[in-house]
Structure 1
Amino acid sequence: MLTHTLFFLATITSVLSCIDHTNYFPPQHNHSNHLSIRAEEGDTKDWSYPSFNWPEIRVEYALCHNGTQQSPIGLSHSQGHSKKITPVFDRYKKAKGELYNWNHGVAFNFYHPEGDFSGLPSMEIQGQGRATERVFLTGWHMHTPSEHMVDGVRTHAEMHFVHVNTNGTARAVIGVLIQAGTFDSPFFAQLPKPLIYFSNDSTVQNIEIDPYLAIREVKDYAKFWTYKGSYTTPPCTQGLQWFVSRDILYTSVRQMQEILGVGTYSAREIQQIWLHEVNA
């Protein structure tokens, strides 16, 4: 372990995602801030972009082709916005974790004891005809360009806030579309510089992040689309409630260049709307 004010850890594992997975894996470390990998995922990341051939790689990736609620999807202002299901960010608070790169862009995992998510930042999902559910924010990661398209247009980037229930099962994703603008984004201003490059296996430890800054920058998530969807990477597991903000988070040109400069193309092709129950 090297010390450069913060700690960089050099022992790594491959970047993976799965049904039991809270966020894309960083290099290994001594903090229990992620869940175990399912054995079927293997020891290597065997997929890449573009995404058309994922089902051909493994039988476990079949949902990527035949799933009925696959993400991302195309969204439109003509669809209107959700009025029945609402995320309430009542416990989005500052918390410490580690910054890394998931081989395609910047990512962050919050620290928590193994199997205990109760101390993490959290939100409540409220909706007509459904039980209120509290879900816990395990981390976030970046995609460039955005995965969701609005009226056929992609933004420069998209950030996914991944939430689990008390059992550690992934339940919801908060999507934030990001575009270069004029002024610095307060959310991205809190990240240490330089950002970690996509081929760099280091992590930066003990970073305190305020996730609510991102929510505030999209007008407190007042208007959004929601639908039943999936992970956007293999094995494309379904069962997630997706939220995508109508309002865009703007960065400065310099910040966007930094974000794009440490990432690679990571947008899955748009999936056909099927049993997604958009805004239902």
Structure 2
Amino acid sequence: MLSKIFLASILTTAALGCADHSNHLPHPHARRDVPPEEVDPGRDVNDWTYEVSSDWAYINPSEPNLPVNKYLDWSFSAHDIELHTDILGIGTEYALCQNGTQQAPVGLTSDQGFSEVHEPVFGNYEGNVTGTYYNWGYGPAFTPMYNKSTIYSLPNLTFDGNTSYMVGWHTHAPAEHPVNGKRSMAEIHFVHADTDGNYAGVLAMRIDPSGDIDSPFVSQWPWTIGFNETRQLTNVQQDLDLALQEVVYFDNFWTYMGSLTVPPCKEGIRFFMAEQVLYVSNAQMQRILGMSAYSTRIEQPIWLQGVNE
């Protein structure tokens, strides 16, 4: 998801999220037409899968040859897992995936109301941003081109007096956050990090089809990279502000402190979820799903996330 976001090379390396947005330096030779001997072999193999996200805490990356549960050939109930984390290896690198207090995603409802605090303020979002478009292994993704001296020119997000910079977007299918018990067909995350490479905030927008009217934002996507072509890059320009326009600039939103939605499930990341859905045409929805693989973590219990607090 690729399993982590990294600000590599110029910025301090730090895990930032789901897709790997480390490809932020210029790629003058990025192309779609690779020669036959370089045909993309398909998706990289991770030591975790979305289909069994409830078991991530039992995986120890330092012992990759061991089975997921190295002690048992049967599984505990959820209650027993809480009582026996000592023998299940919940001291591994992925421990927070099981015992974290601010895990994501969570379910959101109208009864929770909308946030009146942590208001997101958007800066420098207008105009085209140059970057690379690719398949992060689970669907479309984009990373703007920048280095340490130009990161300040990127679109930015300010909340609670702190500013972070848009280092990429990626999609999940189906949506990671259910709203009123309904899960949209996809979800897009605009990922923001500070200048030290610390993951700070995610702008989350649900995606659903609504007939024949195209989304202007999604219409910018080139659609030239296939389902299994996860190592190809295409240089593009995108007006990211179009997405914000289509969700009315988060005029109503939910917010909470969450985590990476992949191992190691690092916490302390503020999520903003727009009330407004980003609607696409039926054809655009088919293209998104045609480029995607299942990428939804199991819904997490609300604990210390502080929804709208």
Q: Is TM more than 0.5 here? A: yes
1:83-162 matches, cutoff 5 A? 83-93=116-126, 94-114=128-148, 117-126=151-160, 132-162=161-191
The answer as to whether partners of 2:173 and 2:295 remain within 8 angstroms in 1 is yes
**RMSD value, Cα:** 2.1
Matched residue, 1:222 = 251
Distance 1:247 1:85 in 2: 18
Q: Give structure 1 stretches of 5+ with no counterpart.
A: 1-13, 33-42, 127-131
Q: What is the one-letter code of the residue matched to 2:152?
A: S
Distance 1:27 1:85 in 2: 28
Cα gap change, 1:134 to 1:203, in 2 (>3 Å): same
- Output one character per residue of 1:53-98: Cα deviation in whole Å (capped at 9) or x when no partner: 1111121111111000000000000100010111111321321110
Q: Could you list the runs of 4 or more consecutive aligned residues of structure 1 that deviate by over 2 angstroms after TM superposition?
A: 25-32, 114-117, 201-206
Distance 1:148 1:279 in 2: 15
Task: Give the CA deviation at 1:201.
Answer: 2.9
- Which secondary structure does the structure 2 equivalent of 1:86 belong to? coil
- Which secondary structure does the structure 2 equivalent of 1:65 belong to? helix
Q: Percent same amino acid at aligned positions?
A: 40
Q: What is the one-letter code of the residue matched to 1:221?
A: F
Matched residue, 2:46 = 45
Matched residue, 1:8 = none
Cα gap change, 1:160 to 1:174, in 2 (>3 Å): same
Residue 183 of structure 2 is aligned to residue 188 of structure 1: no
Matched residue, 2:73 = none
Give the paired residue count.
251
Distance 1:229 1:27 in 2: 22
Compute the TM-score of the two structures, normalised by the length of structure 1. Answer: 0.84
1:227-246 matches, cutoff 5 A? 227-246=256-275
Task: Give the CA deviation at 1:30.
Answer: 5.8
The answer as to whether partners of 1:142 and 1:158 remain within 8 angstroms in 2 is yes
- Output one character per residue of 1:256-279: Cα deviation in whole Å (capped at 9) or x when no partner: 000001101111010000001110
The answer as to whether partners of 1:102 and 1:198 remain within 8 angstroms in 2 is no
Q: What is the one-letter code of the residue matched to 1:21?
A: A
- Output one character per residue of 1:27-57: Cα deviation in whole Å (capped at 9) or x when no partner: 969639xxxxxxxxxx962111211111111
Task: Give the CA deviation at 1:119.
Answer: 2.1
Task: Give the CA deviation at 1:114.
Answer: 4.7
Q: What is the one-letter code of the residue matched to 1:148?
A: H
The answer as to whether partners of 2:24 and 2:143 remain within 8 angstroms in 1 is no
Q: What is the one-letter code of the residue matched to 2:308?
A: N
The answer as to whether partners of 2:244 and 2:250 remain within 8 angstroms in 1 is yes
Task: Give the CA deviation at 1:139.
Answer: 0.1
Distance 1:101 1:170 in 2: 21
- Output one character per residue of 1:165-196: Cα deviation in whole Å (capped at 9) or x when no partner: 121100000000010012100010011133x2
Q: Is the radius of gyration larger for structure 1 or structure 2?
A: 2
Q: What is the one-letter code of the residue matched to 2:168?
A: G
Matched residue, 2:20 = 25
Cα gap change, 1:243 to 1:149, in 2 (>3 Å): same
Distance 1:29 1:151 in 2: 36
Distance 1:212 1:175 in 2: 14
Tell me which protein shows more strand as a share of its residues.
1
